[in-house]
Amino acid sequence: MSGIKILLEKCVGCGLCVKVCPVNALTLDKNKAVIDYEKCTLCGCCVESCKFEAIKMLRKIITKDDISSYKGVWVFAEQRDGDISSVVFELLSKARELANDLDTYVGAVLLGNSITDRAQGLIHRGADKVFVVDSENLKHYIAENYTKVIVSLVDKYKPEIILAGATTTGRSLVSRIAVNLYAGLTADCTALDIDREKKILIQTRPAFGGNIMAQIISPNFRPQMATVRHKVMPESDVNISRVGEIIKEDFNENDSDVRIKFLDFIKETIATVNLSEANIIVSGGRGLQDSKNFKLVEDLAEVLGAAVGSSRACVDSGWIPYSHQVGQTGRTVCPKIYIACGISGQIQHLVGMQSSKIIIAINKDPDAPIFKAANFGIVGDLFKIIPLLIQKFKEKPKSLAV
């Protein structure tokens, strides 16, 4: 649906809306306005110009006065079994910077069951206010229930910015919130800043296959919403002397979606080290030639106490699960050491690992793009090089201690 409707019984064919439309999405046909939905950008100019109230916006329009009433930078405090995700601490760090530029507060939204005692930890990490909804109904993450609760909180407290991690949970939740609030949403951001003159959020993310960095704004709707990739921002420090306000809200039984029932959560057991949290990552690419050869990467990772990563080509070929994929459409990682084995280094992969402290590349092609990003490069046959590395690290297992 376009979000705009012409009320034909009220339209007199005056043509004012046609004149003001900045994208030429309106025309007159038989003295009635007609919208080209493919061109319409929902700017609302036609609604304001119509003296006969013949054009209806099917989404909420926020006036400048309304926008000024929105205050606060909120972070969705994602947790599982009471453990706060580390991406939340990264977002709190950035939220503090944004809030300082806007002269407002940092809020954290914490939903779950028996999680109120975690609120103080969020204050120690930078939150000024923690909005807590503690209920048995929120014990397990169900997107529809969480969405209704947060939408209610937004309607009551009116934050101007909402941030969430670009995790499986964050992506599924925040998109639903944005639709319910008629708000804009930028996914997978790698940078966030404030336009100090206009006091709006500038959201930066890769576009066109990672070939450009797009800056996106949402000047006319609130809250401004973004999901942010893990490991692209530093975590906030712990300050146990910080004080803040814990605001408890009750769960509304009407917010429970009775159509959905939580059955079970099955954890993937193939990975022995969390990719996002790993200090060392060993990744394999198309140069491994076959799924069975991933054992080389796994063996090297095991001797180093590292996590196993992968390029998209290996995931698409079914060699390794998607949860190991590093890159634009996978995980963004920032380990101390990243070892790329048989990975050419296309921009889509580099986007996900280029902020690693040390990058070591192994590739038989001396012109492979990965060498431009690498701190150290080994040109040669990975089937010979990796076994030698495994042997050496077994002899000196602390060689890459980090």
Distance CA 68, CA 62 (A): 10
Q: What is the rounded CA–CA span in Å between residue 398 and residue 89?
A: 30
Counting every residue, how long is the chain?
Answer: 402
Residue 247: its pLDDT value, please? 94
Residue 64 has a pLDDT of 52
Question: What pLDDT does residue 1 have?
Answer: 37
**For residue 67, what pLDDT is reported?**
79
pLDDT, tens digit, for every residue of 252-274? Answer: 877 776 677 777 776 655 445 57
| Percent with pLDDT over 90 in the chain | 47
pLDDT of residue 2: 42
Mean pLDDT (whole number) for 323-331: 84
Whether the Cβ atoms of residue 276 and residue 230 lie closer than 8 Å to each other: yes
What pLDDT does 177 receive?
92
**C-alpha span between 195 and 203 (Å, rounded):** 10
How far is the C-alpha of 339 from the C-alpha of 241, rounded, in Å? 40
At 359, the pLDDT band (50, 70, 90 cuts) reads very high
CB 59 within 8 A of CB 206: no
Report the chain's mean pLDDT, rounded to a whole number.
87
Helical (H) or strand (E) element with 304: helix 294-304
pTM beyond 0.75: no
How many other C-beta atoms can be found within 10 angstroms of the C-beta atom of residue 322? Answer: 13
Residues of the chain with pLDDT > 70: what percent? 92
The burial of 126, by beta-carbon neighbours within 10 Å (0-12 exposed, 13-18 middle, 19 or more buried), is given as buried
Residue 354 is predicted with a pLDDT of 84
Name all domains of the chain by residue range, CATH numbers in brackets. 4-59 (3.30.70.20), 66-255 (3.40.50.620), 280-395 (3.40.50.1220)
Q: In this structure, are residues 331 and 351 in contact, taking their beta carbons and an 8 Å threshold?
A: no
Q: Largest Cα–Cα distance of the chain, in whole Å? A: 86
- Check the CA dihedral 245-177-199-4 and report its sign: negative
Give me the pLDDT at residue 4, please: 82
Q: What is the mean pLDDT of residues 207-217?
A: 77
Q: Evaluate if residue 229 carries a pLDDT over 70.
A: yes
Residue 59: its pLDDT value, please? Answer: 58
Per-residue pLDDT tens digits for 24-51: 999 999 999 999 888 887 788 898 899 9
- E-only strand ranges, 88-199: 106-112, 129-134, 161-165, 185-189, 191-195
Please list, in sequence order, all residues whose beta carbon lies within 8 angstroms of the beta carbon of residue 54, skipping any fewer than 6 positions away: 6, 7, 8, 10, 11, 12, 33
386, 389, 395, 397, 398 from 392: Cα distances, Å: 10, 5, 5, 8, 10
With cut-offs at 50, 70 and 90, classify the pLDDT of residue 355: confident
CA atoms within 13 A on the CB side of 212: 5
- Average pLDDT score over residue span 165-172: 88
User: For 274-290, what is the mean pLDDT?
Assistant: 87
Q: How far is CA 302 from CA 158, 276, 296, in A?
A: 48, 17, 10
33-47, 91-105, 216-230, range with greatest mean pLDDT:
91-105
Query: Cβ distance 98 to 194 under 8 Å?
Result: yes
Query: Residue 210: what pLDDT?
Result: 60
CA distances for 245 relative to 122, 274, 292, angstroms: 11, 33, 54
pLDDT at 173 over 70: yes
What does the block give as tokens for 105? Answer: 């507060």
Dump the DSSP string for 375-393: SEEEES-HHHHHHHHHHHH
Tokens found for residue 164: 């969430």
294-312 pLDDT, tens digit per residue, is 999 999 998 998 999 999 9
pLDDT tens digit sequence for 128-161: 999 999 988 888 888 888 999 999 999 999 999 9
Helical spans, DSSP H, in 75-142: 86-102, 119-124
In eight-state DSSP terms, residue 116 is: G
Distant-in-sequence, close-in-space partners of 394: CB < 8 Å, separation ≥ 6: 303
Q: Which of 46-60, 210-224, 261-275 has the lowest mean pLDDT?
A: 261-275
